[in-house]
A and B are shown apart, each in its own frame.
Chain A
Amino acid sequence: MPGQVHNPGGLQKDLMATVIVTGLLVWLMPMLISTYTLTVLIIYGMLGLSLGLIWGFGGILCFGQAAFFGLGAYSYAIAAINFGESTLPMILAVLVPAVVAALLGALMFYGRLTDVYLGVITLVVTLILFKFVNSTAGPQYVIGKARLGGFNGIPGFQTLNVPGRPEAYIWGDAYFYVCAVLLALVFVLVTVLLRSSFGRVAVGIRENETRMSLMGYDVRARKTILFAIGAAIAGLAGALFANWGEIVTPSLFSLGQSAEIIIWCIVGGLGTRLGPILGAAGLAYLKFLLGQQSLVDNTLITGLILVLFVLFLPRGIVPAVSGLWQSRIGRGRRSRRPQTRRGAISRERFNG
């Protein structure tokens, strides 16, 4: 089952399942939804996964995951304009957010900031980035050949090409396959990471930070690294998004975008790898569908969904469905799922 990262000895089975499911989806989904739309759902899925990793497994609630998404997209766009070839920009789009996150993470975790205060810092950093990029419309804001463009963003950069051949663009269906494969790869990497001792320690830190540090683990360094890994994934998603939309705008950094990522994780299910991906893809598709009607205000529906989920399905869809599945087929005794313990965690925090 998707949620069971700790299930011993199942790495190979897990990998097999990932490959098979990815293959099936890549084959079947284009029959239902156009590949162009699917591509962005995949990208959002990756973005959801990036927060799902650090929040669901590391206990780091980041209000500013969009900052890394935007940084990835902007790094890509700026580098692509300057280099005219997409390989190095793709790498930069992963590295820049990771480095920024490592610095920010060090600032926060070595300052022993936790829960709400962590949220405020990440939120504030996102706001600063947003305000800065948003006010760069003037001609003086240039990096190499790239104008930052302020509110209007940067259009017209080199999009993804076959490495080394700037004229061989990867786009349309091919781009869809690239994104799907990349998401599968990231998913596998996350799986391997969570199965490694690093991943298990990370979950340990989520459950009880003091205990882990007393056991001799350097909690601060580990949280910083995990935070940077999450940012790298978000950065990759950002670069893919830039290629997909062929324009980057400051709204990528916006608070609304950050909040949306949080909702994806909640609705999909925290503490699972699949939940945030499904939550992201599902809700983004819903938003897309809602745009085609004008009967009820779309914001109202999004809000209602969020409220209802928090009230009635606080663990999210994936854990709820897998729970239902397990009890149905009588495997209830193995119910030690690493389900989300958001409620429990926050209660602890405030009593402690």
Chain B
Amino acid sequence: MPMNRRSFLSTTAAMTGTALLPQAVMASDTIKLGSILDTSGIFDAYGKPMDMAMRLAVKEINAAGGLLGKEVEVVAYDTQSDMALYSQYGQQLTRQDRVDVVHGGILSASREAIRQTMRKTKTLYFYNVLYEGGVCDGNIFINGVTPAQQVEALVPYAMGKSGPKVYILAADYNYGQITARWIQKFVAENGGETVGVDFFPLDVSDFGSTIAKIQAVGPDLVIAPLVGGAHLSFFRQWAAAGMKDRIPLASTTLGVGNEHKVLTPAEGDGIMVAYNYSQELDTAANIAFKDKWSAAYGDSGMIHELAVSNYQGMLTWAEAVRQAGSIERAAVIAALETGLSIEGPAGRVTVDPKTHHAVLDVHLMEIENQGMRVVETLPQRQPIDTQSVCDLKVNPGDNIQYEIEI
């Protein structure tokens, strides 16, 4: 889209915003933080712990005296797993509540539903979720793991433990499609062969025929970027058919919403994954984080990858505000673009100035007894997928989600 349209929209947005609200909030004495997550509906297994992590972070920030001497006030909306409500609350947050920053969005669809609104209204936006990569937009900061950070490490590891013939079962949407392509790329690069790719809409829960099909093809390894509750059935049916000891499994998503805690050890053990966080991370930072969580909510069992991402996103933002000494968007972005780092529960997270993505640790893990046992830690991995297409230093006005050609 042309540049002039955006500037036109954003200025008029600011104007109508004030016109709509005669009682316009003047320079307030709190910092307003907008949060927009699915805390009910089918995605709330992701959203609820994220919401808890956000509130925990705010509590800590305020207990330490707030930011710039001001208290942080949360304005949170539950989007009820309904993509239309994202547009609605996104507008509400930016035009009526006039928040200083927005953290939130879970599915890629929800991010795309509000990203342009945030941009038009010049509201700084943090998307703290593992995703398919490629978003290039100066107004958004993303600290989730992208395919290159994760798949590049997972594929050779899993192939090394099994063999060169790989079968891919992916969720049929943006994330699954793009991740499947990355897997194919890395399988080829590691001298393997992709013998089959199947896509499943998010509501498919019967994998019987697929399991028969896979056996007819006979791969050495199955990689499954499957998403959500219905797809969890695959792992269960796979084990029920007695396949688990025959063909090893790897996944890029299992466990992100603590799915591995639903599977029994017999069903889950041995599945290979790679993420930024695991409850079983044996670091001082993680133990301290789990203690804080338990103190606030009683039980730390709910913590998952996305909750920690959200928490780390909050820390990153707070640190940037402190360094900028201001909550002005431009100043905070400038502070973030210095490549600032924070130490989160999952280790060091550094903002990549070029892409607004994050440089972070990725852990190769195997599911074991409903936990994720760390096999190997790959420190400070760059988001090279997005880096290959996006450079906000050179092209600060970029506003697109690139689909990386492979």
Indicate whether A and B are direct neighbours in the complex (CB within 8 Å).
Answer: yes
**Which of A8-16, A35-43, A314-322 is near enough to bind chain B?**
A35-43
Residue from A156, A244, A297, A298 within 8 A of B87 (CB atoms): A244
Q: Is B96's beta carbon under 8 Å from chain A?
A: yes
B-contacting residues, A159-193, CB 8 Å:
167, 169, 171-173
B-contacting residues, A199-253, CB 8 Å:
241, 244-247, 249, 251
Q: Which residues on A sit within 8 Å (CB–CB) of B172?
A: 134-135, 137, 150-151
In the complex, what residue of chain B is closest to A172 when comparing beta carbons?
B16
Task: Check if B1 sits within 8 Å of A156, measured CB to CB.
Answer: yes
Residue from A153, A294, A299 within 8 A of B39 (CB atoms): A294
Q: Is B78's beta carbon under 8 Å from chain A?
A: yes
A118 → chain B closest CB, angstroms: 25
Q: Which residues on B sit within 8 Å (CB–CB) of A246?
A: 87, 113, 116-117
Q: Which residues on A sit within 8 Å (CB–CB) of B115?
A: 155
CA distance A150 to B201 in the complex (A): 9
A251 → chain B closest CB, angstroms: 5
B residues engaging A (CB < 8 A)? 1-2, 4-5, 8-9, 12-13, 16, 19-20, 39-41, 77-80, 82-85, 87-89, 91-92, 95-96, 107-109, 112-113, 115-117, 172-174, 176-177, 199, 201-202, 403
Interface size on A, residues (CB 8 A): 39
B-contacting residues, A298-323, CB 8 Å:
298-299
Residue from B9, B87, B96, B174 within 8 A of A171 (CB atoms): B9
Task: Check if B96 sits within 8 Å of A34, measured CB to CB.
Answer: yes
A242 → chain B closest CB, angstroms: 11
In this complex, the member of A36, A241, A292 whose beta carbon has the largest number of chain B beta carbons within 10 angstroms is: A36
CA distance A139 to B177 in the complex (A): 9
Give 8 pairs: A residue, B residue, CB < 8 Å, sorted on A: A37-B88, A37-B91, A150-B174, A169-B5, A241-B84, A246-B113, A292-B77, A299-B40
Task: Check if A151 sits within 8 Å of B92, measured CB to CB.
Answer: no
Task: Check if B41 sits within 8 Å of A35, measured CB to CB.
Answer: no
Task: Check if B16 sits within 8 Å of A249, measured CB to CB.
Answer: no
Interface residue SS majority, chain B: helix
CA distance A27 to B69 in the complex (A): 42
Task: Check if B109 sits within 8 Å of A172, measured CB to CB.
Answer: no
CA distance A3 to B173 in the complex (A): 45
Q: Which residues on A sit within 8 Å (CB–CB) of B89?
A: 291
Q: Which residues on B sit within 8 Å (CB–CB) of A153?
A: 83, 109, 112
B76 → chain A closest CB, angstroms: 8
A66 → chain B closest CB, angstroms: 12
In the complex, what residue of chain B is closest to A257 when comparing beta carbons?
B84
CA distance A70 to B94 in the complex (A): 27
CA distance A149 to B19 in the complex (A): 36
B-contacting residues, A101-144, CB 8 Å:
131, 134-135, 137-139
A151-B109, A152-B112, A173-B16 as given contacts; A291 in contact with B78, CB under 8 Å: yes
**Contact digits for A73-114, partner B, Cβ 8 Å, 1 yes 0 no:** 000000000000000000000000000000000000000000
